[in-house]
Amino acid sequence: MRYIEDDLKDKTVLITGGAGFIGSNLAFYFQNNHPDAKVVVFDSFRSGEMLSNGNLKSFGHFKNLLGFSGEIISGDINDKVALKKLEEDYTFDYVFHEAAISDTTALEQDLMIKTNVNAFKDLLDICVRQGAKMIYASSAATYGNAESPQRVGRENPNNVYGFSKLSMDHLSAQYREKTDISIVGLRYFNVYGKGEYFKNSTASMVLQFGHQLLAGKNPKLFEGSDKILRDFIYIEDIVQANIKAMNPSEGGVYNVGTGKARSFQSIVDILQRELGTTATCEYIPNPFIGSYQFHTEADIKLSVIGLGYAPAYELEDGIKAYVSEIRRIYEEEVK
């Protein structure tokens, strides 16, 4: 679906983290809907380097870009030489900044701040010098255990990832005050959909439950999963918000969710209907009490006004649209 009518001919778009989940979906959106735009993907492709928690440092994967015909550059946003070369070689009209240490359980606070906050400032400076519009990934993790529905201005992060994203939001506010470039931060809630498989253990529970069911296993849920509610948002609505953020009525930080909280139990129930399975759920103790959001629900009123954003997918719609891809990934990558 095409979300803007703007002619992007002769426009240059940078997507950092473009081999990741959301970045790759944006790359294909432009390729399919705005083929005259020049799209540059910049990504620190995975090398096998691990964080101390055992998860990969980078989730970028070439398979997310199979079929993409734009330019692809392997580079780290922490590398100032690489960023300088990027600025020398291109003049960007739009920067979609998706690159980050996105693992909410990562313990490396120094790396988190360096990658998510300090490198963001370097990219903002490039945007100022080139007059580019910045659209960047913030996160619902900024809210922590704040009361639902979550609203901008009521943040209380309970991990360093959420803190780093809130710091990005504060930094973007400073730049909006002192420059005339357009800067929009998008606070993603629980995203699921095509392209997330290579996030490994941090992929959504929609995908993980789907593969458990396809493997003939009983899905494992935390105790009280019918009362653990999250705002699950399908990737197509994330893409929609990003594209509409290219021409906001006003720069700022906006929630990107459905505005409806749903349970993890609901995910399994919908998947069972779509996959035709009848597995028995197993309930296990929740080891993340104290660092785990038990209820998220995006207040999207400002997003509707400021971006013209309107979520198109309920959880049932998103899982229905996603289930063929869940099957494909299981057959080709898991089985």
Q: How many residues does the chain have?
A: 335
Query: Could you tell me if residue 334 is inside a domain?
Result: no
**Residue 98: CA count within 13 A, CB half-sphere:** 29
Q: Sorting pLDDT into bands at 50, 70 and 90, what band is 106?
A: confident
Give a yes or no: residue 152 inside a domain.
yes
Please say if the pLDDT value at position 5 is more than 70. Answer: no
DSSP-assigned letter for residue 329? H
> 141 falls in which pLDDT band (50, 70, 90)?
very high
Instruction: Compute the distance between CA of residue 47 and CA of residue 57 in angstroms, rounded to an integer.
Output: 8
Does 6 reside within a domain? no
- Is the residue at 322 inside a domain? yes
Lowest mean pLDDT among 56-60, 78-82, 197-201, 310-314: 56-60
Q: What's the CATH code of the domain at 126?
A: 3.40.50.720
In a domain, 1, yes or no: no
Q: Residue with structure tokens 């639902």?
A: 148
Q: How far is CA 288 from the centre of its chain?
A: 22
SS3 of 58, please? Answer: coil
- Whether 36 is in a domain gets the answer yes
Model pLDDT, residue 105 = 83
| 54 backbone dihedrals φ, ψ, rounded to 5° | 90, 0
Residue 307's contacts (CB-CB under 8 Å, 6 or more residues apart) are: 184, 241, 244, 245, 248, 249, 254
Rounded to two decimals, the pTM is 0.96
Is there a domain that residue 253 lies in? yes
Give the residue numbers spanning the domain of 75.
12-329
pLDDT band at 124 (very low <50, low <70, confident <90, very high): very high
Among 151-160, 201-210, 287-296, where is mean pLDDT lowest? 287-296
Report residue 40 as tokens: 């540059």
> Per-residue pLDDT for 206 more than 80?
yes
pLDDT band at 291 (very low <50, low <70, confident <90, very high): low
How far is 178 from 160, CA to CA, in rounded Å? 27
Q: How many domains does the chain contain in total?
A: 1
Residue 5 forms part of a structural domain = no
Which residues are known to be catalytic? 161, 199
Asked if pLDDT for residue 132 goes beyond 90, the answer is yes
Tell me what the pLDDT averaged over the chain comes to: 95
